[in-house]
Structures are given as structure tokens and as C-alpha cells.
Structure 1
Amino acid sequence: MTPLFSAPGPDPEPGPLRPGRKLGPIAVTVGSSHRAWLEPIRERYLSSGRTLSDLSFGVLLAKSKLSELLRGVGHYPRWEVIHRLAEELGIPGWPLHRLWKQAALDAGKSKDWVERSTENTVTIAPAGPPLEHGALRSIVAEGYRRYAGVFLPDQARDAAIEDTFAILWLSFGDALASPDTRRYAWEILRATVKAKADHRDRRPLLSEAAFDTVALRAQTSPEGEMAQLAESMELFAAISRLPEVQLDVMVLRRLCGFSAEKVSDLLGIPLASVRSNERHAERFLEDTIELPPPTGGTTP
């Protein structure tokens, strides 16, 4: 299937060399929400050809402190600093601010601290993302919402989706340069959902889906609902042990009821790959539990 947005041609050229000490890696203590905005900023800096010394004049921050900021070391940065950095690097402010704010709250900063941190900056206008970004969102948003809802309650689900499209906006140049923009976007969604989901043995829990499967809604008696719930929980536990792509395929096919063609569109992988991953996943599940018949799979 032809990618929705593709960027044929050779791989992009590596970023220009710069004098001075190489920027160190992101600290291992940096959380997922902090990484969500820090990684796009680092990528923009590394591809810009600018040096820390040069950048520090515009950001009004010592070179050593700027290096710490770009590695996630030290105190969580105030928005006014990130705002200046975004202007210097030509990064859109609105999606960056959303991700920065969420990470600040996750880091234990109060809402008052967040407000004080932004009081010296110009009001951020939510300028529109690239047209291709909006087109992709209009096509995949419902599928993303239903997938995320398998792992997360409503409020966390909606936040995960908004974070996904904010991250995609910040890195949309890389998305367009990738083999398939849909695949690039899906991997952002998966990582964002997994970061917010509850885990057991490093596997995301699917328990929220137990109350929203087609089979469960079809039960009319309390006894039938309880039996189906027990079966669903067993199925969800088994699905959570699948490799990532197989898990995605089974969640979208079994729990969301999407057709194989729609799953191919959402994941950005060939239809043959969807069917192959589904067959492998079914064999594993059949060896693990008594697999119920499919509950749908015809949703366009």
C-alpha cells in the first residue's frame, strides 16, 4: 500500500560538525514526559550546526548550564528559558509548551510554579501545525483514541493522544523523511501510551479494555458478564506478553474490532505483515489460553 505521506530519495545528510566538546547523552534519570520535549530540542540543536557558545548568547544562559539543560541534568528548567531556546532554534512554541508543562507537573512542580515560570514570556498562540500533520490526524485520530483506551482511562487516554500529536508536530520534518509517516506517528503513540499505562513485569496492562469489548457488551446476564470478564482478563494478560507489533495488531483486531486493512493503515505496515503478525499471535495465544472467536474485525 502506498504510504499516506512519503519522502522518497536518499537518506538525509548528517548534521554539520561543530567545534568544541561533544554534547553528552540524556541522563538516565530523565523521565519519559521530560524526554518527550527534550529529544526534539536536542535533535534540532544537533542538526543546526550551532555551538553551545553561540546558542548561549541568545538563550542568556551559561554554556555549562545550557549543556546541562540539553542533557536533562540539574533542576527542571523554567519555561522562559525553553521559550528562548525554542525561538533560537526555530521550534514551534505551542506543542513544546504543552509537553514542557506536563513534564513539569510530572516532576512535582506545582501549578503556581508553572504559571510563574511563564509570566515573563509572550502569550503562546496555538499556531496551526503543517497541513500534512492535520490531514494525518484527521485520518488516524479515532483509531488512536480506541487503541489508547485499551490501556488508559479516559482522561489519561486523551492526554496521551494530545501528547502524541504535539511530539509529532515537533519532529514532523523527521516524520516526513521517514519511510512512512504513519509508522513514525504510530511509534510515537505506542511509546506515549506505554509510558502512561500501568505495568506488570514491564508489560503494559490491558485491564481497562475488559469493560469495553464487543463480547462483554453482548452479555445480558450478570453471570454472563462475570464469566466474560474473567475470560477477557485472561486474554488481556496473554496479549500483553506478545511482541510489540503482534500486540498492536491483536489489540486493534480483537479488542477494537478494526479490519485488517484499517490496521494496516493505522500501523503503516503492509497488509501481509498485519495478517502474518496476527497468525503468529494467535498461535501463541492458542498455546497459552483457550482463544475465543473474533468479536469483530470489520470496522473500517
Structure 2
Amino acid sequence: MTTSYNAAGPARPGRKLGPIANTVSSSHRAWLEPTRERYLASGRTLSDLSLNVLAKSKLSELLRGIGHYPRWEVIHRLAGELEIPGWPLYRLWKQAAMDAGKSREWVDRSTEGTITTTVATDRSDRPPLEHGALCQMVMDGYLAYAGVFLAEGSHKTAVDDTFAILWLCFDEALASPDIRRYAWNILRATVKAKANYRDERPVLAEAAFSTVALHDAGPEEQPTRLAESLELFTAISKLPDAQLDVMVLRHLCGLQPKQVSDLLGIPLAAVRSDERHANRFLDDTIELPPRSGGLTHDDH
């Protein structure tokens, strides 16, 4: 995951914390990046935190993603020192642990004596009201977008992870020019990290089975329609991110331009501009009969 949270903290004595290791997985990075940013913004030092969390050298490794995957009991202590919400951090930590090949037994052992506290904290320290309102507003659109790239079940996990990351860095989200845009960038990065790729572009082929064009086609037409849809989706996957987002939401998810504008947190004019440029690219790239492509130039 490559979302930047841009939390500029005060100067602190000692050696500067090194960057996150290139070997860190996207799911590990999902909780490590906001945790690092909270540390950098806190004004605390590694020496200070080492008194109650972990030896200074080991803590430095933890914040860089170096060495063994950390046990929850250590992350729990660090979260307490940095006042990081426990429940979203635990969710992301557990997901990354499973992705790293840790067994459920290992997860249970590393949370022994702390998970009850984490759950209790979650019940008494709910996310900000604005967080809940935003999540409710964008839920359907996020699920539809993620469902174009990810299998059933995985798309829900990606959206839940997005909301957890958003909770961890909600102060930064509120300070951003548009919280909807901030949240969307997290969703896009989370979905892209979980998607399958071909030639470094996300694969959209699964969406071919739910298009309006296929549903409207008779049995004898469906093989031809499917081939045309796959060609179309391959071309869409080559678009720049902004145009790809708009085309997926408009023509694979069925949203109107104003709905796309609200979901992405960008002006309506930008949505229409991205759609126009994308359609020109598709017109130059593929030749499909108007009835089969499923794309229209409707800007209502």
C-alpha cells in the first residue's frame, strides 16, 4: 500500500527513523504506515517508548517492518503509548499476520491477556461520528467498485480494511482538502493491493459476467458478447487511475456522474472530463458494435 498520510511531527533527538523495508507486504503496511505516522507526529522518542514497549533497537525494527512479524501484545502496548485506537489496529494486524502465514494458534497466543482489553476499548471508544457517517454514505459505492476487481468476500474485506485504516488516520483525513478524496485514495490502494494483475494492470475479467449487455443477450449471443466485454475490460484496465475509477463506477457499477463526483470527492466537471478522455482512448483502441460495449456517453 502506498497511501501517504503526511503527518509532520516535531524534531526529535537521535538518529532519524529509517524507511519501511521494501519487503513489507501490503497488508502489513496497512497498519504500519499509520502507526509510524502517529509516532512521528507524537514528539515521542524511541528511547522514551522503549521504557514501556520494547527495547529501542527492536522498536526501530518494528517501525520499519524488519525482522519477525510482531506479536499483538507488543503492538497493543505501543498503541496505548501513542493513543492509537485498538480495535481497527488489531483488525489490520490480524489480517497481516494471517497473510504472513501465521497460524490461528499463534495469533491467539500473541493476543493472550490483551484481546479482552482491546474489545472493551472498542466498545467504549467508538470511532468519530463523522467516520461512521462517511462510511455509511460510501459503503454501497465502495463495495460495488471493489467487487469489480475482487472475488466475493474479498471485496467486503477490502472495504472493511479501508474503514479501519481511515479510523487510524482520521485526524489527517479531516485536515485534508476533501475527506471523501482522502478515503477514496485509501480504498483504491487497498483494492489494488489485493487485486490480480496481468502486465502490471488490474484484471477486470470477473466483471464480464454481470454486465447488462450479457444479461440482455440470448444464449446464442452470449459467447460473442463475453469476448467483446473481455476486450473492453482489458482496454479499460489500461486507463490512468483517475479515468479508470470513473469508467468503472459509471459503466460497470452503473453510477450517475453526480454520484461518482460525490463518491470520489472531485468536481462534476472532472468526472465528465475523465469520462470523455477515457471514451476517446477506448474508441481508438477497440472497435465494438454500439450495442455490445455496454458504454454510453450519457452525462445525465
TM-score category (smaller protein): over 0.9
| Structure 2: unaligned runs, 5 residues or longer | 1-5
**Cα distance change of structure 1 residues 296 and 257 upon mapping to structure 2, 3 Å threshold:** farther
Code of the residue aligned with 1:31 in structure 2: it is S
Count of matched residue positions in the alignment of Structure 1 and Structure 2: 287
Report the counterpart of residue 180 of structure 1 in structure 2. Answer: 178
Q: Distance between the aligned counterparts of 2:86 and 2:148, measured in 1?
A: 31
Contact 1:257 1:297 in 2 (8 A): no
Report the counterpart of residue 208 of structure 1 in structure 2. Answer: 206
Report the counterpart of residue 42 of structure 1 in structure 2. Answer: 36
Q: 2:10 aligns with which of 6, 16, 24?
A: 16
Deviation >6 Å, runs of 4+: 296-300
Q: 1:222 aligns with which of 219, 222, 226?
A: 219
Code of the residue aligned with 2:246 in structure 1: it is V
**Residue deviations 1:3-27 (CA, integer Å, cap 9, x gap):** xxxxxxxxx9942111000000000
Matches within 5 A, 1:218-297: 218-219=216-217, 221-291=218-288, 292=290, 294=294
Highest RCO, 1 vs 2 (Cα 8 Å, sep ≥ 6)? 1
Q: Distance between the aligned counterparts of 1:95 and 1:217, measured in 2?
A: 39
Greater shift after overlay, 191-200 or 223-232? 223-232
Report the counterpart of residue 115 of structure 1 in structure 2. Answer: 108
Greater shift after overlay, 17-26 or 222-231? 222-231
**Residue deviations 1:231-277 (CA, integer Å, cap 9, x gap):** 11001100000000000000011111110000001111000000000
**Cα distance change of structure 1 residues 298 and 280 upon mapping to structure 2, 3 Å threshold:** closer
Q: Distance between the aligned counterparts of 1:218 and 1:295, measured in 2?
A: 14
**Residue deviations 1:139-164 (CA, integer Å, cap 9, x gap):** 11000000000001111101101000
Report the counterpart of residue 69 of structure 1 in structure 2. Answer: 62
Code of the residue aligned with 2:42 in structure 1: it is S
Code of the residue aligned with 1:104 in structure 2: it is A
Q: Distance between the aligned counterparts of 2:253 and 2:59, measured in 1?
A: 45
Code of the residue aligned with 1:135 in structure 2: it is A
Report the counterpart of residue 164 of structure 2 in structure 1. Answer: 166
**Residue deviations 1:98-138 (CA, integer Å, cap 9, x gap):** 00000001111111111111012141223421100110111
After TM superposition, give the deviation of residue 58 of structure 1 in Å: 1.6
Q: Distance between the aligned counterparts of 2:67 and 2:192, measured in 1?
A: 26
Contact 1:253 1:296 in 2 (8 A): no
Q: Distance between the aligned counterparts of 1:223 and 1:119, measured in 2?
A: 59
Q: Which TM-score applies when normalising by structure 1?
A: 0.92
Q: Distance between the aligned counterparts of 1:298 and 1:94, measured in 2?
A: 43
Q: Distance between the aligned counterparts of 1:165 and 1:98, measured in 2?
A: 11
**Cα distance change of structure 1 residues 122 and 205 upon mapping to structure 2, 3 Å threshold:** closer
**Residue deviations 1:149-183 (CA, integer Å, cap 9, x gap):** 00011111011010000000101111000000000
RMSD (Å), alpha carbons? 1.8
Partner secondary structure for residue 221 of structure 2: helix
Matches within 5 A, 1:18-167: 18-59=12-53, 61-123=54-116, 124-125=118-119, 126-127=122-123, 128-167=126-165
Q: Which TM-score applies when normalising by structure 2?
A: 0.92
After TM superposition, give the deviation of residue 223 of structure 1 in Å: 2.0
**Cα distance change of structure 1 residues 296 and 74 upon mapping to structure 2, 3 Å threshold:** same
After TM superposition, give the deviation of residue 209 of structure 1 in Å: 0.5
Q: Distance between the aligned counterparts of 1:38 and 1:14, measured in 2?
A: 16
Q: Distance between the aligned counterparts of 2:200 and 2:101, measured in 1?
A: 24
**Cα distance change of structure 1 residues 228 and 176 upon mapping to structure 2, 3 Å threshold:** same
| Structure 1: unaligned runs, 5 residues or longer | 1-11
Contact 2:158 2:190 in 1 (8 A): yes
After TM superposition, give the deviation of residue 217 of structure 1 in Å: 1.6
Contact 2:213 2:294 in 1 (8 A): no
